[in-house]
Structure 1
Amino acid sequence: MDVREGNNYSLLENFVLNASLEILGKRFQGRDFFHDYFIFRRETIYALHPFLEEQKINLLKKIAIESGLKNEKIDEVSRMFCTGSSLFSLELYVQLNELKKFYEFFDKLLQSDEKLANILGEPKILIDLWDHQKEALQLWFQNGGKGIVEMATATGKTMVGLAAIQVLYKSRKKLNVLVLAHSKAILRQWRKEAISKLGLIADPNDNYNTSIGYGNKLRIEFNTMQTVYKNPGVYETDYLIVDEVHHGAGKEFRNALNVPCKWKMGLSATIEGGERESVLDQYLGKTVYEFTLEKAREKGIIPEFKLYIHKNFLDVRETVEFYLITEKIVNLLNFINSTQKEEIKLISNGKFSSFENLSDFVHLMANSRSKSDQIPAEWNSLSALLFSRRVIIHRSSPKIESAINLAKVVARNKKCVMFTMDIETCEKIYDSLSSYVNTYHVHSNLKEHQNNEELDKFKKCSNGVLIAPKMLDEGIDIPDAEIGINVSSSKTKLQLVQRMGRILRKKPGKKPVFHHFVALPQSFIDPEDSFNYLNDLAWIQDITLKMGITSEIYDADTIAPEDVKTIQELEKRSEEVACRYHAKYDKITSNEFGTIRIKSIVDSIEQEAKVKLINLLDNWDGSISDEQWIQILRASYDDESMVSIPNHLWLLIIAERKPENIVHLLQKYNN
């Protein structure tokens, strides 16, 4: 008998059903069991008949929630048996009886088709919120339904925005919602999440700008900041959600935040910079809740992970090109200093008449955009040279080849996400990998439907690699990728955290690994290059301490001894440059990361920990390595695994890695 044929399947189902009933009848002991079950089966079939398969499951979930049940019970039963079948009804009936919820559930199931359709159409969160999501929602409402929720990537900020829809709809019974984001891909994901998590009736594969809702009672619309900022008044709504809200701080798009509305929620992984914060406060309200990456690790929201650092030198051609451009930069900076003192004085408003270093030049250029007509041609040429040199680092062949070789191995049986600086590098890696492993790519030069198809294929595959420049930095959920490979230098901590967040989403049996690639030139312009390289390392150490993890050089034992020596000398010289600069200016400044002050680092160490830290250092003999520094800091916090001391590596560097110098700085800058 072929059980796959319809009639044979029914015969088999009836056989299993009767056998199960006989066993369960003895277990429950009584005629009521059979009588109640057959009524329940009949009414379940009648109640579910008008609805599609997915709608049936969502309806049962919503009834389960209203009956005080975990909706996971419906998932459990639907995974075992076809929804609405006799065996499905039997298993659900048994589960409800064991949980003593049968009559509550059955009463709600017996409602009219119209009332059942109302239950199905109304928004209801179909998963349990985490405690931090509940707290964020509560604080947002306490602030009058306005404000920004900052939550680390992979900790469920989307659910906070959706949960507010449920609460607002329940109190008003009519609600219009507008979701704003800077990316169509993010909006497409929001639309899918709203349908699945709120149990709404809509096709999740429709275009991102197709609204969803329930009759004339609920309408959820989705649009880009790039569209709305032109005329925000025509997009009036009740509840405005702005995802990745830091994009709205830019002068170009902040007008999009003027959409007329009663409630507004901004969502972001984190917001960096005082001006950005003040702009967003003005338009959306203050930050009402913060949930950091380290808090997420501490509470088990995201899993433990491993962090590997890959250091690669430029190849011969790149080294020569880098050196030649470096010479041109030095010569042009000297020329500007010797021949354009008056111009420097004029544009800097009399602050200085020559550039002490490249940082001075870069900062002045960044702050002089309104004086572009006064900028000498040589200054623009110098800026172009700096950019050209940076591109060499970003596109370094050894770095990219090393990442490709790694992906060839790990993507055979795991899912990987690779981040690149630009589309050109993305395409190069795609071409190199596509004949070895399942390879997918997304970027802005592809059409929207092509990007959507690539993302869907990657989500469905069991192994392979997804490559992207910046599209994956924010908001796009890749739930079962577990290897991250970053070959693009991150200009901000936010970018690095967001990239890590793409692989940190918790899933049973998943152990994420993040590989961060760094390209090293052998000729630096001091101090700018030294600072940028050291700060790359400082970011890694920040994450290591905050997340309670270890970071290590990948395959350190395979690196040639001469390369190890060169790297050590490079880092030593960079640290010496940093010490001399700090001794002169009492700060470290760079265009890449802004200004770092030792006082700010010292202030971020808790007073009690500071006392313990000084005691530990008083008893320490000899120079302190990065690994030893992490151990000492954790020991000063009573061996807490996760400690937040931003830029702590700079304290070690400025102290020349000497314990007595660290103690001196701690005492000097202590409040």
Structure 2
Amino acid sequence: MAFTDLDLSFHYRTGGSSGDIINDFYVPVLSEAKIYKRAVGYFTSNSLAIAAKGLSSFIKNGGKMQLIASPHLNKEDIEAINQGYKARDEVLNERLIKELEFDAEDKIIQERLNYLAWLVYNNQLDIKIAVLKDQTSLGIYHEKLGILEDVVGNKIAFSGSSNETEGGLVNNYEAIDVFFSWDNSDEKRVTSKEQAFSNLWTNSNSQLEIIDFPDAVKDKLLKYRKNTYSNRDPEVKNNEIKDQGMGYQINYPRIPDYIKLREYQIEAIKSWFKNSAQGLLEMATGTGKTITAISAVSKLYENTGKLAVVIACPYTHLVNQWVEDLKKFNMAPIIAYGGKNWEETLNDQITSFNYDIINHFCVITTNDTFSSEKMQNQLRNLKSDTVFVADEAHHLGAKYLNSKLIDAIPYRLALSATPNRWYDDEGTDKLLKYFGGKTVYQFGLDQAIGRFLTEYFYYPHIVYLDEDESEEYYEITRKLVKTLGSDDLGKSSEIKEKLLIKRARILSSARKKIDKLNELMGQSTESKYNIVYCGDSDVDGEKQLDKVIKMLGNRLGMKVHSFTAREDHSERKELLERFSEGDLQALVAIKCLDEGVDVPATQNAYILASSTNPREFIQRRGRVLRKHKGKQYSYIHDFIILPRNIDEISELEPALFNMERNLLKRELKRLTEFANLAMNGPEAIETLADVTRAYNLLDV
């Protein structure tokens, strides 16, 4: 989510009519910020506590913070420096360390310093100290401002002050004015304030000297780090509701005030309710289908007053992404997958729910765990008032998973950008039937491109088989033709399947794909944000992926890395961060980037493993088109493999011609799909004009 999706005001103050400054400004903005620059005036435990408001989500999201503050020197300090009793750095160290002391009973400052200590510990926070160059007075640097930036480059600047005296804060009062880079009337102010901060940070201010944060003070701050940190700002009270005779329910589905649903999201939710709170939302990547789903669940809770929420995702990384969003909606999900200790907790929640001790709980799991006997036995104890949400719901169309869907659950919501299962009409029909019989709302890529996704250029590249590959392909194709006339249908079907797999591997592992990639990337060795999709086939006894990595890394000298099942979760997270920062120029993947992994920095995609499965290639395109700071367009290079040169096609016997024609016809469906929405669509289609004429495919 970007800053532009938040409902923000131009002014906030503690206790003011403009709203709760922490809940309505700090928490939502810092939840989406990747960069936070803050100047707070005094370096005191109280001032630092103000700078640390609402930072818990910022820590989790890996945001980077820069903080400038000034030491509060008294007369004795100034005299000690001027008279030479103590060196300036010694005085500063002593004063800064002393200012970190506070009343141990003050839980707010305690937790806020814990936030800052965690940021320091994670290398997410840099602190610099502003000192007046004129050491003859008690004056201090007293400016208070903040600049925040989200993942797509939107910026927010705010300025104002807390009510400080020499002794610290008075009633923790704060008032700020807010400016937005996307507002024409505010843009210059944002730029001006960012430049002012930059001048300070780079020591370019004529009246101030900026020094690095002393190690001794850093060590003191780190001592305030606890084993964990609170997900809720310590100044925010629990949102409690009290039901008649039900006791308190602290966590329940609630749309936060700072989330402003778009018109199409509201329409999607309305359509779901019109279908008795059942149905499938077919929404493109990047259109906020997760937020739409949780908002629908929250509105359902408003209507029913009691609701159990069960969510299933195909992969653990999707579960983890959902958990972060669920917390924003005031929910505390039970995370249930693998060997995690969740069974007893879930059993307690279901029992309490069934006996009306609580009126809500949420469990989120993977498809594998959802279909397990221990999970099924527990979920079948739910009596009513339950909603089942399936992310990437097309997976549940598989025969085994489809049989595990629970008919007793009355409310059902499926999410998928590509719900139709490839070559499995029966699975698709069963899936739709369970989720209310239809897609209740559709928001496709054609609607999302240009609004929530980048526009793109599409370049299909024709690649031919080598001579020996072409001969092997020809022989296999001739054998396939012979199987069509076999009297033994069972044996013929088995032979045909093996031959088709063998022939597909020849196309997948074609040597000239790597040669073509070398030609293209050789012209862009300084480029960044490249993803190469490979197949899992061998090329001359070595995996295509490994050959590509060697070619890019050794021959072209680029910084590349694989992104496959070989890398564990922590490695993948690190690789994605390095890629987004431009440290890695390219990621080479097989299928790990197909579904649910957000890599918005991607600008160029090279598709060596060309899938004819619409779901796969549509999802890959969606991954590439995510918006990101400084990214205007995306570029997709698709490798179209042909078994023979065009001048040889007319010499083929009819059976071979028809078989190759059908193969190319499936390839052209992908090309047409990509080209239809591309900026250079007509030119892309024209690339294959000679081939389509030769195979008589002009009507495709």
Range of TM-score over shorter length: 0.5 to 0.7
Structure 2 distance, partners of 1:78, 1:160, is 25
Amino acid at match of 2:319: L
Amino acid at match of 1:325: I
Q: Does 1:402 align with 2:516?
A: yes
The alpha-carbon deviation at position 289 of structure 1 amounts to: 0.5
Assess if the C-alpha contact under 8 Å between 1:77 and 1:91 holds in 2.
no
Alignment of 1:474-513 (within 5 A): 474-510=595-631, 511-513=633-635
TM-score by length of 1: 0.59
Assess if the C-alpha contact under 8 Å between 2:560 and 2:584 holds in 1.
no
Amino acid at match of 1:389: R
Which residue among 227, 230, 234 is the counterpart of 2:378?
A: 234
Amino acid at match of 1:519: I
Structure 2 distance, partners of 1:47, 1:7, is 16
Residue 536 (structure 1) aligns with: 667
Residue 222 (structure 1) aligns with: 364
From the superposition, tell whether residues 147 and 404 of structure 1 become closer, same or farther in structure 2 (CA, over 3 Å): farther
From the superposition, tell whether residues 382 and 143 of structure 1 become closer, same or farther in structure 2 (CA, over 3 Å): closer
Which residue among 433, 436, 444 is the counterpart of 1:292?
A: 444
Assess if the C-alpha contact under 8 Å between 1:534 and 1:574 holds in 2.
no
Assess if the C-alpha contact under 8 Å between 2:160 and 2:175 holds in 1.
no
Alignment of 1:115-154 (within 5 A): 115=238, 123-125=254-256, 126-154=258-286
Assess if the C-alpha contact under 8 Å between 1:294 and 1:547 holds in 2.
no
The alpha-carbon deviation at position 50 of structure 1 amounts to: 6.5
The alpha-carbon deviation at position 159 of structure 1 amounts to: 1.7
Which residue among 393, 397, 401 is the counterpart of 1:245?
A: 393
Alignment of 1:259-338 (within 5 A): 260-272=408-420, 274-285=425-436, 286-297=438-449, 300-330=451-481, 332-333=482-483, 337=485
SS of corresponding position for 1:471 = coil
From the superposition, tell whether residues 159 and 490 of structure 1 become closer, same or farther in structure 2 (CA, over 3 Å): same
Deviations 1:277-318 (A, max 9, x none): 4211221212110111112237x2222111111111122332
Q: Any unmatched runs of 5+ in structure 1? A: 17-45, 57-71, 97-108, 345-374, 557-563, 579-648, 652-671
Alignment of 1:36-435 (within 5 A): 49=109, 92-95=175-178, 114-115=237-238, 123-125=254-256, 126-170=258-302, 175-195=307-327, 197-198=328-329, 219-231=361-373, 232-235=376-379, 238-258=386-406, 260-272=408-420, 274-285=425-436, 286-297=438-449, 300-330=451-481, 332-333=482-483, 337=485, 340-341=486-487, 343-344=488-489, 375-376=490-491, 378-407=492-521, 410=524, 412-422=526-536, 424-435=543-554
Deviations 1:43-101 (A, max 9, x none): xxx89647558999xxxxxxxxxxxxxxx9998998768998979999843349xxxxx
From the superposition, tell whether residues 304 and 78 of structure 1 become closer, same or farther in structure 2 (CA, over 3 Å): closer
Amino acid at match of 2:282: E
Residue 246 (structure 2) aligns with: none
Assess if the C-alpha contact under 8 Å between 2:282 and 2:439 holds in 1.
yes
SS of corresponding position for 1:257 = coil
Structure (1/2) with the larger strand percentage? 2
Structure 2 distance, partners of 1:220, 1:406, is 49
Q: What is the aligned length?
A: 472
The alpha-carbon deviation at position 425 of structure 1 amounts to: 2.8
Amino acid at match of 1:483: N
Residue 515 (structure 1) aligns with: 637
The alpha-carbon deviation at position 501 of structure 1 amounts to: 0.2
Deviations 1:10-60 (A, max 9, x none): 9985799xxxxxxxxxxxxxxxxxxxxxxxxxxxxx89647558999xxxx
From the superposition, tell whether residues 542 and 145 of structure 1 become closer, same or farther in structure 2 (CA, over 3 Å): same
Deviations 1:480-530 (A, max 9, x none): 212222111222222221111001123353211111111111077221221
Deviations 1:366-416 (A, max 9, x none): xxxxxxxxx12x542332122111111111111133235534655744312
TM-score by length of 2: 0.57
Structure 1 distance, partners of 2:581, 2:333, is 21
Deviations 1:439-493 (A, max 9, x none): 2333335444444443454345455222222232222222221222211122222
The alpha-carbon deviation at position 553 of structure 1 amounts to: 5.4
Q: Does 1:439 align with 2:560?
A: yes
Structure 2 distance, partners of 1:79, 1:182, is 40
Amino acid at match of 1:572: R
From the superposition, tell whether residues 134 and 381 of structure 1 become closer, same or farther in structure 2 (CA, over 3 Å): same
Assess if the C-alpha contact under 8 Å between 1:229 and 1:253 holds in 2.
yes
Residue 466 (structure 1) aligns with: 587
Residue 201 (structure 2) aligns with: none
Structure 2 distance, partners of 1:308, 1:329, is 32
Structure 1 distance, partners of 2:114, 2:240, is 13
Assess if the C-alpha contact under 8 Å between 2:313 and 2:392 holds in 1.
yes
Assess if the C-alpha contact under 8 Å between 1:442 and 1:455 holds in 2.
no
Q: Any unmatched runs of 5+ in structure 2? A: 1-39, 49-66, 73-105, 117-146, 180-231, 242-248, 350-357, 538-542, 650-655
The alpha-carbon deviation at position 147 of structure 1 amounts to: 1.0
From the superposition, tell whether residues 414 and 221 of structure 1 become closer, same or farther in structure 2 (CA, over 3 Å): farther
Assess if the C-alpha contact under 8 Å between 1:230 and 1:255 holds in 2.
no
Structure 2 distance, partners of 1:295, 1:148, is 18
Assess if the C-alpha contact under 8 Å between 1:146 and 1:264 holds in 2.
yes
What's the Cα RMSD here?
4.8
Structure 1 distance, partners of 2:517, 2:160, is 45
Structure 2 distance, partners of 1:420, 1:82, is 53
SS of corresponding position for 2:624 = coil
Assess if the C-alpha contact under 8 Å between 1:308 and 1:551 holds in 2.
no
Residue 599 (structure 1) aligns with: none
Deviations 1:547-574 (A, max 9, x none): 66525459x9xxxxxxx9xx77654331
Structure 2 distance, partners of 1:391, 1:132, is 43
Structure (1/2) with the larger helix percentage? 1
Identity of aligned residues (%): 23
From the superposition, tell whether residues 402 and 160 of structure 1 become closer, same or farther in structure 2 (CA, over 3 Å): same
Assess if the C-alpha contact under 8 Å between 1:152 and 1:292 holds in 2.
yes
The alpha-carbon deviation at position 244 of structure 1 amounts to: 1.2
From the superposition, tell whether residues 307 and 379 of structure 1 become closer, same or farther in structure 2 (CA, over 3 Å): same
Amino acid at match of 2:499: L
Assess if the C-alpha contact under 8 Å between 2:42 and 2:69 holds in 1.
no
Structure 2 distance, partners of 1:516, 1:151, is 24
